[in-house]
Structure 1
Amino acid sequence: MVNKQTGRVLAIGQTQSIALKDGKTLLKRELLLDCTRFDPYTGVRDTFENTPLFEFSGDKGVAMLDGIQVGQVVSVTFDLQGTRYEKDGQTKYFTRVRPYAIEDVKAKTQQQSVQQPAPQPTPQYVAPQAAPQNNSNLPF
């Protein structure tokens, strides 16, 4: 299932290198979005802010944020992943938001408007023609 969140970029973190137990290094970079809803009729922002933080990881994930700038409106496509683990005899659950794509909403909108074909002219109404009145050639 595809999950998508659209918002204005508030902050883009620097790339961080995290040392893993197996000696490898994981790259991580954070993106903070303002996804606060607003009333479409009045334009008034909701009193409850919605500012999710997305963690892009790996070489490809970190590189996705290179062309993104603060103030830009983007859509982030992500997946939810959950893990169950045991700690001190109790079962605990951990949920991660894993973004895997990001796109500039303005660029996508402009691209779609360029690709749409020009509207075709509406065909003019043609009235049906009456049948010929000459019945002399009819076989019956």
Structure 2
Amino acid sequence: MTESPAGEPRVIATEAALDFLSEIRRDHPDILFHQSGGCCDGSSPMCYPASEYRVGETDVKLGEIGGVPFYISGSQYEVWKHTQLIIDVVPGRGGMFSLDNGRERRFLTRSRLFGSGEASCGIPAPSRPKT
């Protein structure tokens, strides 16, 4: 799990996202997020049953939202390491394989750049999954 040097979490969620996450967890208690960078679903945060998604060796655990682990690919982390991801909910359909699909709302990633005191060249090494 990574934080900015000032201790700011790298991923947070809006109240609406946390409420939606609780709704999904009633049907699927053990889930995880992976920030998609693929072409098919754009760059949506994808929500999967934990038992059905294999976290890659180069994936980085950014943190947790609502007790749910949140991962991003190592290559995307390198691009986004100076930002805080803010998971929100908007009307629409979720990613094709994401658990928010079919609920007429979907997760959306917003972001903000860390200030000069929050992120620097001394960014901690990302957390890699245990294999």
* TM-score normalised by the chain length of structure 2: 0.28
Which has the larger share of helix?
2
Larger radius of gyration: 1
Structure showing greater relative contact order (alpha-carbon pairs closer than 8 Å, 6 or more residues apart): 2
